[in-house]
Structure 1
């Protein structure tokens, strides 16, 4: 579990602002689940999704997401992991491969979310990308309620739980400067045993 509790370049919870927010969110919480819910709802509701709100700059590090109060799903997952790890709760990064147009058809892109390890439940996925019309992600144990369902054979819930962001995600977030540049170059991967 150590790697899911460690600070890193992108999940940089040693930043004083992140530590302060993490402590503030955990204050008055009676248990681990309450802390997770408060951190999740903060990132979901207080950090604006870059594309939904047409916001710049493009953020990647957790501290930059908090500073600018905006990020793509990937960056928001970095901040959520940082807040959870700062509260000594193991957190990782997960990805889905989804249709860009919500039709189930090509083109496809990766979508970033989190998994948190809960002592009484095990690994549980949460998606703080931000709710909007047609998107209603919640922390609703024991059932997962993610932002997007899998709708076609070429979409996937990727099973891995990563301690660090995928390189392809970092390259996109660090290469482009505006939300529309990222939107036009969303990262994707080829599926194993797929002819895509």
Structure 2
């Protein structure tokens, strides 16, 4: 049986759709950035809504493949794969380029049975990451979850408000060198906003 999710064809998700789905989730926090990115991709707001509809229909279809197979059927073969150990469990990290963010890759961590453990944006191998020293460096879309956690260790993970969202709590200096308690929010692994924690 032909997989429901293919890279071409009316009514089926495409690699462009993936970028639009990522942006759709980010629009709650950064509508201006999302609008600029949508225009850069050359699609209308209506086309963005349709892409999300196609994606949701494909994901919820009873004929859809496993999540791991779904990504490959939409994006094609991954640019790279690597064995990885998370805690005491083995998995495979699969990465695809995302033209909208050339310095990032879309990473899927898949277990031996094809179950997806995580789906998010990470820094591309060899790409230079941001220099994160103070709160002022934490601008929207500037860094990934891993980069913020390393720069401001120790960071404590927080439960996200949706499946594609993550949070981190950590201490970081402001421009005057005063250390502040911060909560950073991420969508698909990319920083969206920060807020000072209430004492």
Bigger CA radius of gyration: 2
Q: What TM-score do you get using the length of structure 2 for normalisation?
A: 0.28
Higher helix proportion (structure 1 or 2): 1
Q: What TM-score do you get using the length of structure 1 for normalisation?
A: 0.29
- Compare relative contact order (CA 8 Å, sep 6+) and give the higher one, 1 or 2: 1
